[in-house]
Structure 1
Amino acid sequence: MPNRQESPADIAGRQALECMFACLDEGQSFRLEAGAGAGKTYSLEKALSLLIERRGTALVRQGQQIACITYTNVAKDEIISRFQAHPAIRAETVHGFCWSVLKDFQTSLRTFLSGQDFWRERFEPLGGIGGRRIHYEMGIPRVSDEEVLIRHEDVLTLMIQALPSQKFRAVITSRYPILFIDEYQDTDEQFFEALRSWFLDRAEGPLIGLFGDHWQKIYGSGCGLVEHEALQVIDKNANFRSASRIVDVLNHMRPELLQMVSDPELIGEARVFHTNGWPGVRRTGQGGGHWKGDTSPDAARAYFSYLKAQLIAEGWDFSPKKTKILILNHSGIAREQGYESIPPIFGRFNESWLKKEDPHIKYLTDHLEPACAAYAQRRFGEMFKHLASDRPTIRQHDDKVAWVEAMDTLDELRLTGTIGDVIDHLRRVPQMQLPDAVVRNEQRLEAAGEEVSDEEPRRVTQLRKLRGVPYRELIALDEFIDGHTPFATKHGVKGAEFENVVVVLGRGWNEYNFAEMLEWCEAGPPADKRARFENNRNLFYVACSRPKIRLALLFTQLLSPNALRQITAWFGDEFVIELPPEPGN
């Protein structure tokens, strides 16, 4: 009998787990659809725990593992830590999982690579690929006399090419009789189509368990919703995160996956504030950007300040630990935070700087800034770890003087110089060690010369521009990425939760128009706009589902009557509020 103390969310969660355990017992592949706050990771860990308890010893004895594909390295490391690197679990990103099998098919890999234009051009001057061994490490392509280092994108391409081989599929099934995919909706679409074709469609291969939520797909390359007759669908109708008012909104948005709350007595709040009464001339989109229908920048700032003051008066705590402000475009958040020069350098596909994939930004944020913070706090051992690596530190008095002078100069350049000034200083200091990737990029820029040519590689041009950015902007970017500020954007939102959330919704990106999304909700989007609609809807849902207690939306763009009608249907008439025409007065 169920425990009388179970909450509605507990009951819904238990029922979903029971269905999942039955699938595992019966060898039935499944898709567990867990909406925001439902406890997807908890379900995944429960599945792994059950399998370890019942089959762990046998799997290890047979040289088999449960493969668990994660979307990020952080998620991978969490699973490894949670299960103490249990030998029956192989947690990997999709690239790591694919390579764990591909690496043993060297002859096939050489054949596949030789057929790709990118690699053929590199092999021809060498007389072909020969017997070189194929390796995958950091994703930086390179050909030497003994080996070929392949790119990240090559791994999935090679996996898709290898799956038609019955022998290859047999090796996967033998090694990994169970395959879990976390955040399945963000899995590369072509890769998943290959899994569908060669495993699900044929009713063969590993037991496949998908964990995720297709309404939380906010990355463009993901497969989204996966439907297949071989997959049993398990809806997890629970929300362990948010207060009742917020869950009510989510249920109105998504009635096909109703959620039960964890604490029915925690009411919370969810309100919408809009600027339809603003008397000024709204932006037209002329002069750059996609700002049509938005207020002026000054008016947007005034409305935000007005709303913030009102919420503080009502008792909101706007400290970063309590409240997140989600500005759903990078240009808006960059202006607020003081690093507005950096996003345009990398263009619209800007994850390389935000995810620290750019070598310079990764080094400066992960190593130099922590080293400077350690120096300021006189934690010299930590400083040396970040800056000097395995080089000698201080052996005599002159060494100490040199370090002090170098760090004092560095501190001054951080506040007064550019990113290029800081890098040049570090290169002049023999005690400091720059990563090879940073040095190589600097050398490529030097080789390109001072004059910019039309044929200059994109990354060289990006570095040229990045070096001219004031270093203060890098400090601001570092604070944003590490969560030291109350601001966040879509890349830092997914999977996170906060006590209070303010979502600022305006224009600025061609891909996102939330007023348009609201207009399309009832009748459905035009046939050729389905993907655009789902991208907007999903990001809106992800943002609205982050808070535990309080949610406030601020629309700076004009809402049409249909858009207002839709948002009112979700939030309720009394919770949709028009802000005054002149918020600054």
Structure 2
Amino acid sequence: MSNSNSLIGVDREIYEYLSLENPKSFLLFAGAGSGKTRSLVNVLQKVREKKLDRLIKSGQRVGVITYTNAACDEIKHRLSYDPLFHVSTIHSFVWKLIEPFTEDIKEWLKEKLQADIDDLSLKLSKVRCINGKTAQQNIRKIESKSRRLDELSLVRTFSYSPTSNKVERGTVSHEEVIQITATLLNESHLLQNILTNRYPILLIDESQDTRKELMEAFIRTQSLNRSKFSLGLFGDLMQRIYSGGKDDLETALPEDWKTPSKIVNYRSPKRIVSLINNIRDEDDGKKQEPKAEAIEGRVRLFIVDSISANKPEVENDVRYKMSLITDDALWLESNYTKVLTLEHAMAANRGNFDKFYMPLSEVDHLRDSLLNGTNASLRFLCYQFLPLVNAIKARNDFLIASIIKKYSGVICSSNIRFCEDPLSILKEADDSVSRIAAKVVDGDPSISEVLQLVDKSSLLFIPDTLKALLVNVDRESIENEIDVSETSFAWEVALNAPLSHLNNYSLYINESLGFGTHQGVKGLEFDRVVAIMDDDGSKGFLFKYEKLFGVKALSSTDIKNQAEGRDWVVSRTRRLFYVICSRAQKSLAVVAYTQDPEAVRNKSLASGWFKEDEIEMM
């Protein structure tokens, strides 16, 4: 445990803001590699040392919200699992807060479900063919929402589970938990008092990625409870991932907020700190300093003509050249280097999951959940459907039975047929498994084909939103429908992808495929990094590295978004470039595929990102 004089610099400053007598709120700027988690833990240890007795007597705790379960576990471990600290993800934290508000949740759901039903009914009234794919999907959605609306009066308590897709009476979804909390926190003085009395100190990590409406509700609550509530935000807007965050966080805070900074980069060598400072200079101009004992480090930019490039050969050659430049033979070992792509579509193409990923990534409201796992359909596909399929492929009967028992109503005491005639039910389940095995053991069928077999046999509970898509209409009829929704069409195309693409996607988001991106590696670090920049491989529109490098002209939309201060393609691309470069602990190779190598070279020199002797044309 730290002694009374152990905190120095920014850590001491933050601790002083967390006074129970005169609380202050703050936004801490913590750039890449600045030791943000270390500061968070140091400050919390000091709070425990100095304020423990008073908090215990008042029945209060310190709230700590982090973005991932892994981050929660790390902080809990560093704090020796002390119950004084309530460390949790944002969804778990806010659910504990609103769980007792049954009637308020019920009222919110009534309004939301009725609005959704009215919207779907209006769309249904305008369709040309009631038997079309979209019409049938909307009918299913109306039926599902109407059933849920009718059953609300029977609900006594609500439940929420981040790992379950089983829709039961009284369950609320991942997305609803955030929306309900934001609404109630803004409207209910009682909930505001509960939050501030229970947690006089609330610290939010990765605040730049916390949903905008919820962040605004927290800030408003703080402004109404300044004398008893300290809200501390840790983060860096340059490293924000998701589009749903509050992108004006730094400029929209109340005037009395403090804005401390951690400017030392403890991760990267001097040359890489210099590089990321120059990249960031065109954004917010904030700069970091390397730690005093930092090594010099090496960076190289390899510019490759994308028209004629054999990319695997080029990247092997880059590793060989880096081994010579750095005198580091481990550059030759693929297991000791980390390949980071500028954005997910590049990884999708390289990792063979593009047919599943790309259609969904083009829908705005699906994009974030595609990466953070908050979409119920995606969670079902990756954590229930795919494990069942893989267990069937492995012919692991014990695991198959365990998954079916856990995630369906086929083998359970609540299934009357199973209680009356268990042998017949088990035989039916076994026959269903055999039909799926015939598809998947030696083949690579579409996701939809296998999903329909699972649905038909009820081997798993399928989320209503996904179940509504399993209408047997061929792909061509979907494309010819005028009223087909963007979301439905995206899912239809994605589910038509080979099963192997879903499997590779699942490996990718669980960081087991060998490719990383901005989203997947923020907070991680690697000795040797290869940063791949390849617009041809991305096929996306959110990120364009050749626009960042001045190779391609800005569109009218780009110019308009920039002029209006909105997030736009160059700012998004610059953030990703910043983050992947900042992962390197020893040396960094940037591989830029381009149709105009000379333009990339000129921009790299003019911007000060790279020096003449650090650029190699390949």
- Secondary structure of residue in 2 paired with 1:437: coil
- How do residues 362-511 of structure 1 correspond to structure 2 at under 5 angstroms? 362=379, 365-366=382-383, 389=406, 409=437, 413=441, 415-420=443-448, 422-423=450-451, 434-437=459-462, 444-447=468-471, 452=478, 464-507=492-535, 508-511=539-542
Contact preservation (8 Å) 1:95, 1:156: no
**Pick from 165, 189, 197: which aligns with 2:212?**
189
What whole-Å deviation, never above 9, does each CA across 1:129-174 have from its counterpart, x for those lacking one?
Answer: 6585563525899998x74746614633552354244333222211
The aligned residue for residue 583 of structure 2 is 546
What whole-Å deviation, never above 9, does each CA across 1:257-316 have from its counterpart, x for those lacking one?
Answer: 4434346352221122224xx4xxxxxxxxxxxxxxxx3385666644543443356535
The aligned residue for residue 3 of structure 1 is none
The aligned residue for residue 269 of structure 1 is 298
Task: Report the Cα offset of residue 566 of structure 1.
Answer: 5.2
- How do residues 23-38 of structure 1 correspond to structure 2 at under 5 angstroms? 23-25=17-19, 27-38=23-34
RMSD: 4.5
- Secondary structure of residue in 2 paired with 1:31: strand
**Pick from 51, 55, 74: which aligns with 2:47?**
51
Contact preservation (8 Å) 2:279, 2:574: no
User: What's the TM-score, normalizing by structure 1?
Assistant: 0.75
The residue type equivalent to 2:29 in the other structure is E
**Pick from 69, 79, 84: which aligns with 2:65?**
69
User: Per the alignment, do residues 529 and 64 of structure 1 end up closer, same or farther by CA in structure 2, a change over 3 Å counting?
Assistant: closer
What whole-Å deviation, never above 9, does each CA across 1:289-347 have from its counterpart, x for those lacking one?
Answer: xxxxxx33856666445434433565353555422222223332222222221123314
Structure 1 stretch 180-189 or stretch 367-376: which is displaced more? 367-376
The residue type equivalent to 1:435 in the other structure is L
- Secondary structure of residue in 1 paired with 2:588: strand
Contact preservation (8 Å) 1:568, 1:576: no
User: Per the alignment, do residues 257 and 356 of structure 1 end up closer, same or farther by CA in structure 2, a change over 3 Å counting?
Assistant: closer
The residue type equivalent to 2:267 in the other structure is R
- How do residues 14-29 of structure 1 correspond to structure 2 at under 5 angstroms? 14-25=8-19, 27-29=23-25
- Secondary structure of residue in 1 paired with 2:347: helix
Contact preservation (8 Å) 2:242, 2:368: no
Structure 1 stretch 263-272 or stretch 457-466: which is displaced more? 457-466
- Secondary structure of residue in 2 paired with 1:502: strand
Task: Report the Cα offset of residue 546 of structure 1.
Answer: 0.7
The whole-number CA distance in structure 2 between the counterparts of 1:427 and 1:564 is 57
User: Per the alignment, do residues 58 and 244 of structure 1 end up closer, same or farther by CA in structure 2, a change over 3 Å counting?
Assistant: same
The aligned residue for residue 89 of structure 1 is 85
**Pick from 244, 248, 257: which aligns with 1:221?**
244
Contact preservation (8 Å) 2:526, 2:585: yes
The aligned residue for residue 273 of structure 2 is 247
- Secondary structure of residue in 2 paired with 1:338: coil
User: Per the alignment, do residues 57 and 454 of structure 1 end up closer, same or farther by CA in structure 2, a change over 3 Å counting?
Assistant: farther
User: What's the TM-score, normalizing by structure 2?
Assistant: 0.72
Task: Report the Cα offset of residue 175 of structure 1.
Answer: 1.1
User: Per the alignment, do residues 175 and 335 of structure 1 end up closer, same or farther by CA in structure 2, a change over 3 Å counting?
Assistant: same
Contact preservation (8 Å) 1:169, 1:205: no
**Pick from 561, 568, 572: which aligns with 1:535?**
572
Structure 2 gaps, min length 5 = 1-5, 119-144, 413-422, 552-557
Task: Report the Cα offset of residue 114 of structure 1.
Answer: 4.6
The residue type equivalent to 1:246 in the other structure is I
- How do residues 273-292 of structure 1 correspond to structure 2 at under 5 angstroms? 273-275=302-304, 278=305
The whole-number CA distance in structure 2 between the counterparts of 1:120 and 1:20 is 48
What whole-Å deviation, never above 9, does each CA across 1:174-205 have from its counterpart, x for those lacking one?
Answer: 11111111111112223323333342377345
The whole-number CA distance in structure 1 between the counterparts of 2:167 and 2:377 is 24
Task: Report the Cα offset of residue 545 of structure 1.
Answer: 0.2
User: Per the alignment, do residues 356 and 422 of structure 1 end up closer, same or farther by CA in structure 2, a change over 3 Å counting?
Assistant: farther
Sequence identity percentage: 23
The whole-number CA distance in structure 2 between the counterparts of 1:297 and 1:157 is 53
User: Per the alignment, do residues 87 and 454 of structure 1 end up closer, same or farther by CA in structure 2, a change over 3 Å counting?
Assistant: farther
- Secondary structure of residue in 2 paired with 1:344: helix
**Pick from 324, 338, 342: which aligns with 1:324?**
338
What whole-Å deviation, never above 9, does each CA across 1:525-580 have from its counterpart, x for those lacking one?
Answer: 84235522432322221111011111111222336769834555544423441414
| Paired residues, number | 536
Contact preservation (8 Å) 1:184, 1:211: yes
- Secondary structure of residue in 1 paired with 2:59: coil
The whole-number CA distance in structure 1 between the counterparts of 2:109 and 2:446 is 42
- Secondary structure of residue in 1 paired with 2:331: coil
